[in-house]
Amino acid sequence: MSNYIIETEKLTKKYGARRVVHQVDLKVKKGEIYGFLGPNGAGKTTTIKMLLGLARPTKGSIHIFGKDMKKDKLAVLKKIGSLVEYPSYYGHLTAYENLEAVRILLDAPKSRIDEVLSIVRLTRDAKRPVKGFSLGMKQRLGIATALLGNPELLILDEPTNGLDPSGIIEIRELLKSMPKEHGITIVVSSHLLSEIDQMATQVGIISKGEMIFQDSIETLRKRSSSKIKLTVNDAQSAWRNLMSNGFKTDVVQNQLFVDSVTDEKIAEIVSSLVKNDYSIYRVEEEKKSLEEIFLELTGGEGSL
Amino acid sequence: MGRIMASEMLKIKRKMILFLIFLGPIGVVALEACNFGLRYDYLTKVYKDDLWGGLINEASLLSIPTILIGLTIITSMIANIEHQTNAWKQLLALPISKTKVYTGKALLAFLLLILSCVVLAGGIIVLGLLLKFGVNIPFLYLLKMCFFPFLASLPFLALQIWLAITMKNQAIPLTVGIMGTIISMYSMNFPNWVPWKWPLLVNDLEKAVYSIVASIVIGLLLYLVSHLDFHRKEVR
């Protein structure tokens, strides 16, 4: 028995001749918030639909909770809560009735409805028809629906899509608290790196249907090599001066860049500049942002 | 299955579906009330041997297009509840088999239309009593004429629920259903094997049973095939 909650092997999906997902090995450990990242149209939603049994893989296998999705679909789904793309709801019913319609099918206790309503803070609006809800409220109702069955695994596809900043923060905080409080494992997809960066512990990046990176968020961050940027009064002459003193730097737009070196080396460069009467305005560290790494990984076609 | 039905019943709340289920038969009875009210002397002379039979026949004639149009609209509305916000992806990601989901929808439409037939039978009794046709009601004949046309329409119910559920664009199932209704109204002289003729309950054997049995068999067959098709289809 593997210790992965989700484990896919060479998962492939073709629509006709078009390859939407190609040989994806997704691995999610218990208690993680797994950020599933990729530009629009990279195959995130298709992968998630396969995880939920909504679409059939062309090739490859999916094991969730160690069970084969093909054979034990219903048993697996019993322990999963999901929200795929924009929320599904019955507009003519109230929030409470929407949850009740799903609760009956899950055979969950009635008290659970009030619990999930209070988790997503919709208790006050429970008796209103959902068609009058704002997108943020509908999205929260979707999350409440996903939580109804007390799931061990939560699969959320773009849960913050179309939300305003406060709604995004709210949902992010809600999701972050879940693994700690309820021991839930979460898979959350997004095309926004900043989103994933702020809550995920593990990251999988998919591009053009292929998994191009899968590791912890720290590993991804480590890739962001830093540079030291020096702003001086005459960059060109300073550069020449440093060169003659044996320091290798680059000049870009009247600024000096030093590739990541030790603190002592930086101190030597600075003191050399000072000795030669250059005015130093700024010495700062420039980190390559995760965004840039992401663009690099996805070949620059990402929308961020 | 009980849970599915409970959930389905909840979902049609405030959707005008129940309203239409009552409107259909009550409309038929109301039209017959006008018919008999305006031509009371003439019609009671035509049917003087069997007043109740006359009323039931007239109502039954009207009820056939009503059933066909009704089942078209009802199946479309039931399916549309899920189409509207593509709730299929939520519904089918629940630990419920696709077979049960599909059967639940079909069964809901069937039960609602049976309810319509019950209301029709009740309405005819009330109308007959108001028209002072006496208390000698031919119950067996009444039940036959109220329920048989619907039972003979089962292939259409299976067809419409299939089209309505598998197609997001409801214009197609509605067009097919309305065309079917019109065809059925002119199907008197069609060969007996044509399903559109079955709801009229007339054939060479002069036995409604022929139409009913054929209808139930074809209806069930269509249901099985369509359910397999639904099972095969992926959620968009």
Residue of B14, B98, B234, B236 best to disrupt the A interface, most CBs of A under 10 A: B234
Which residue, of A196, A222, A248, is where some domain finishes? A222
In a domain, A298, yes or no: no
Tell me the per-residue pLDDT of B153-188, one tens digit each, with 9 for 90 and over.
999 999 999 999 999 999 999 999 999 999 999 988
In a domain, A38, yes or no: yes
Tell me the per-residue pLDDT of B187-233, one tens digit each, with 9 for 90 and over.
888 888 889 988 888 766 567 788 899 999 999 999 999 999 999 99
Question: Residue B204: its pLDDT value, please?
Answer: 63
Percent of chain B with pLDDT over 70: 98
Instruction: Determine the residue of chain B that is closest to A149 in CA distance.
Output: B94
What would you report as the CA-atom Rg of chain B, rounded to the nearest whole angstrom?
A: 19
| Closest by Cβ to B94, choosing from A56, A85, A105 | A105
Q: With an 8 Å Cβ cutoff, are A77 and B13 in contact?
A: no
Average pLDDT over residues A212-232: 83
Tell me the per-residue pLDDT of B130-143, one tens digit each, with 9 for 90 and over.
999 988 999 999 99
Nearest to A60 by CA among A79, A78, A46, A74: A46
Q: Which domain holds residue A257?
A: 225-287
Q: With an 8 Å Cβ cutoff, are A92 and B13 in contact?
A: yes
Q: B109 vs A134, B179, B185, CA distance in Å?
A: 32, 20, 22
Chains A and B form CB pairs within 8 A to the count of 80
Same domain, residue pair A147 and A198: yes
Q: Does A135 touch chain B (CB under 8 A)?
A: no
Question: Residue B218: its pLDDT value, please?
Answer: 95
The number of domains in chain A is 2
Same domain, residue pair A156 and A258: no
β-pairing, A153-157 vs A80-83, is: parallel
Which residue, of A202, A222, A242, is where some domain finishes? A222
| Closest by Cβ to B93, choosing from A52, A75, A101 | A52
Which of A43-47, A90-94, A288-292, B203-207 shows the lowest per-residue confidence on average (mean pLDDT)? B203-207
Number of CB atoms found within 10 A of residue A86's CB? 17
| Closest by Cβ to B13, choosing from A56, A91, A93 | A93
Query: In Å, how far is B236's CA from the nearest CA of chain A?
Result: 8
With 60 as the cut, is the pLDDT of residue A255 above it? yes
- What's B98-163 look like in SS3? HHHHHHHHHHHHHHHHHHHHHHHHHHHHHHHHHCCCCCCCCHHHHHHHHHHHHHCCHHHHHHHHHH
In a domain, A282, yes or no: yes
Q: What does pTM read for this prediction?
A: 0.86
In a domain, A53, yes or no: yes
CA distance A92 to B18: 14
* A contacts of B14 (beta carbons < 8 Å): 92-93
In a domain, A304, yes or no: no
Question: Residue B206: its pLDDT value, please?
Answer: 64
Same domain, residue pair A232 and A211: no
Q: Average pLDDT of chain B?
A: 93
Same domain, residue pair A271 and A206: no
In a domain, A11, yes or no: yes
Same domain, residue pair A15 and A137: yes
Same domain, residue pair A13 and A82: yes
What are the structure tokens assigned to A297, written together? 């990984």
What are the structure tokens assigned to A223, written together? 């890739």
Q: Average pLDDT of chain A?
A: 88
Average pLDDT over residues A122-142: 92
Which of A100-104, B93-97, B109-113, B189-193 shows the lowest per-residue confidence on average (mean pLDDT)? B189-193
With 70 as the cut, is the pLDDT of residue A1 above it? no
Nearest to B44 by CA among B128, B146, B143, B122: B128
* B contacts of A75 (beta carbons < 8 Å): 95
Question: Residue A225: its pLDDT value, please?
Answer: 67
CA distance A189 to A46: 11
Same domain, residue pair A73 and A164: yes
* pLDDT higher at A189 or A298: A189
Domain holding A72: CATH number?
A: 3.40.50.300
Same domain, residue pair A278 and A155: no
Domain holding A245: CATH number?
A: 3.30.70
Instruction: Determine the residue of chain A that is closest to B1 in CA distance.
Output: A105
In a domain, A294, yes or no: no
Same domain, residue pair A247 and A137: no
Q: Does A75 touch chain B (CB under 8 A)?
A: yes
Same domain, residue pair A25 and A172: yes
Same domain, residue pair A69 and A203: yes
Question: Residue A57: its pLDDT value, please?
Answer: 93
Interface confidence, given as ipTM, is 0.88
With 60 as the cut, is the pLDDT of residue A303 above it? no
Which residue, of A201, A222, A243, is where some domain finishes? A222
Question: Residue A302: its pLDDT value, please?
Answer: 45
Nearest to B56 by CA among B173, B137, B1, B154: B137
Question: Residue A39: its pLDDT value, please?
Answer: 84
Same domain, residue pair A68 and A216: yes
Strand partners, A190: A37
Q: Does A127 touch chain B (CB under 8 A)?
A: no
- Note whether A13 and A202 are within 8 A (CB): no
Residue A17's contacts (CB-CB under 8 Å, 6 or more residues apart) are none
Q: Does A14 touch chain B (CB under 8 A)?
A: no
Nearest to B94 by CA among A80, A176, A153, A93: A80
Question: Residue A128: its pLDDT value, please?
Answer: 94
Tell me the per-residue pLDDT of A71-99, one tens digit each, with 9 for 90 and over.
999 999 999 999 988 888 999 999 999 99
Query: In Å, how far is A291's CA from the nearest CA of chain B?
Result: 31
In a domain, A301, yes or no: no
Confidence at B91, pLDDT banded by 50, 70, 90: very high
Question: Residue A300: its pLDDT value, please?
Answer: 62
